[in-house]
Chains A and B, each alone.
Chain A
């Protein structure tokens, strides 16, 4: 790197540190959003992905369980059980309920999943401690939810007006804005005013069954009043549903971070050029070759942003750990590809800033070296 460019950084440590700090924050913001996006993406579909069902049956026109309504009578399970190729049908009821610790009035909303304890289909796939519900009045909480409510194994939680004992803590059931809790289908049905309702059916098929013919059979059995999805399609539906909610937010914030980065860096480079005008005029007078001064500006920009990327990458993991400790529901996942893309974009933007700033060099004339004396 050019010794003059290094000198600019070295001679003004406070300003350099503030510049690198400011740009690091922009990069950190983008990395953090990426990691949240990845964490939410995984969290939102982890439950579905870890489920044993080959087919999901929902109310007609419902496409996912994240942001669509599906209600049907539990009696719908009977004709489905008779469809050729169907091995097992497990009804599920998803209910938005309020939950709090027994002796704490601070409640949060929970995505309560009631599943058939006899088949076990619909249970959380990753139990961290404890066991699955085995009887009425038992509940398994997502890890982040348990932390938010400060609930431990054996303690009691109030869901709507009913008390449940926490018998297990699971992972993979955190959807960022809301978490899952799992109880028996009967318990969850009891929380609704209308008996015998379910949200979905999870269907397991015979090993040699043709998925498409089973789907067609279920459709026919319920007179076309339901939507049937294979596992991959249902996963994709839920992923897409989640993305449409978070991706615009991510892009907007990433754009703001990028604009801040360009603005801060361009400003710093322009200030550097104005403050160092005398030095730059001297270099022109002494015969600096074309592009030499421009290269100094570009090297400065790239150096500052490279350091900022380094700082951001060093800080992001401890920062995410601290944030997750403060807000357990915020789970991030830093992907190497995301970090590489962010740093590449930041370095490209540093060149944009340098390009804008370099134009100022044209207004510096070698004759300025004589400006201290008369004409």
Chain B
């Protein structure tokens, strides 16, 4: 059963090593971090500072070498790959630098895909939950049409990603990120592939998702201009937190 907690994400003294070619490389060292709902946390740092590893750990893609990671109050270290996939399907959203939409699916199908995964996960979790709990879990899940309208992409629903502009693709990616009503959104360099004005539009959208929808958004970027939109900015250098600005 998923426990609820005030923090959406909690990292306590987390370190991560990568082993390759007989060498061990420490990428993150003693990271402690918390993120709450309605916050946009900007993770700033140059290339190689460990931003992506941080996001991978929070998403459950990889396990920490040391320390604990809790998502929604639960220690995900003990989660199986299946349970982690279900957690991502139900409560996490992703926005990637190169959008990573699926080119052979239409805009609508790309968004629907996440809802499908959430349905599978709900069905799986539903085995141990009451009907009331299941209903509560799905009542806020937005319809695809609603999402398309909200992000101004309703006219693109039957188009394929290669037929869209960069800005349109990122809007679709953001719509996809909340198609499962995710409470935690992880964005990896979401503005890096966009023009300055498009980038601005995207970070404003992400901020809106945090503050208006009460979600926690973590944005990893090397773009310091995004700091003015963040609730909190954390600077990562050589795998360590150097500064935190609230």
Contacts and interface: CB of A to CB of B under 8 A. Distances in A.
Interface of A: 3-4, 7-8, 10-11, 278-279, 282-290, 292, 365-367, 369-370, 372-375
A370 B52 CA distance: 7
Nearest to B177: A286
Contacts of A4: 102, 104-105, 109, 113
B104 A10 contact: yes
A288 B94 CA distance: 13
7 contacts: A7-B102, A289-B89, A289-B121, A370-B188, A374-B49, A375-B18, A375-B53
A287 B88 contact: yes
Most B CB within 10 A of own CB, among A7, A11, A286: A286
B92 interface: yes
A3 B118 contact: no
A283 B96 CA distance: 13
A361 B105 CA distance: 20
A289 B97 contact: no
Interface string B46-84: 011111110110010110000000000000000001100
B50 A375 contact: yes
B124 interface: yes
B52 A373 contact: yes
Given A289-B124, A375-B48, 14 more contacts: A3-B105, A4-B104, A4-B109, A282-B102, A287-B85, A287-B90, A288-B117, A289-B117, A290-B81, A290-B82, A367-B56, A370-B55, A370-B56, A374-B47
A314 to B, nearest CB: 27
A7 B59 contact: no
Given A366-B61, A374-B47, A374-B48, A289 B85 contact: yes
Given A288-B85, A372-B98, A373-B188, A365 B61 contact: yes
A285 B61 contact: yes
Contact of A285 (B87, B88, B118, B120): B88
Nearest to B85: A287
Contacts of A10: 104
Nearest to B176: A286
Contacts of A285: 59, 61, 88, 94
B89 A287 contact: yes
B102 A287 contact: no
Nearest to A365: B61
A375 B114 contact: no
B86 A289 contact: yes
A8 B85 contact: no
Contacts of B176: 286
Given A370-B55, A374-B52, A282 B100 contact: yes
Given A3-B109, A4-B104, A375-B53, A369 B82 contact: no
Contacts of B61: 285, 365-367, 370
Contacts of B121: 287, 289
Given A3-B105, A367-B61, A375 B52 contact: yes
Contacts of A284: 85
Contacts of B52: 370, 373-375
B172 to A, nearest CB: 13
B134 interface: no
Contact of A369 (B94, B103, B113): B94
Given A372-B98, A373-B189, A375-B27, A289 B82 contact: yes
Nearest to A367: B61
A292 B120 contact: yes
Q: 3 tightest A-B contacts by CB?
A: A287-B89, A7-B104, A287-B88
Given A4-B105, A8-B104, A286 B53 contact: no
A352 to B, nearest CB: 26
Interface string B135-176: 000000000000000000000000000000000000000001
Contacts of A373: 47, 51-52, 97, 188-189, 192
B57 to A, nearest CB: 10
Contacts of A8: 104
Most A CB within 10 A of own CB, among B48, B96, B176: B96
A372 B97 contact: yes
Contacts of B92: 287
Most A CB within 10 A of own CB, among B47, B61, B120: B61
A11 B53 contact: no
Contacts of B188: 369-370, 373
Contacts of A369: 94, 96, 100, 188
A374 B105 CA distance: 28
Contacts of B59: 285, 366
A286 B89 contact: yes
Contacts of B124: 289
Interface string B14-53: 0000100000000100000000000000000001111111
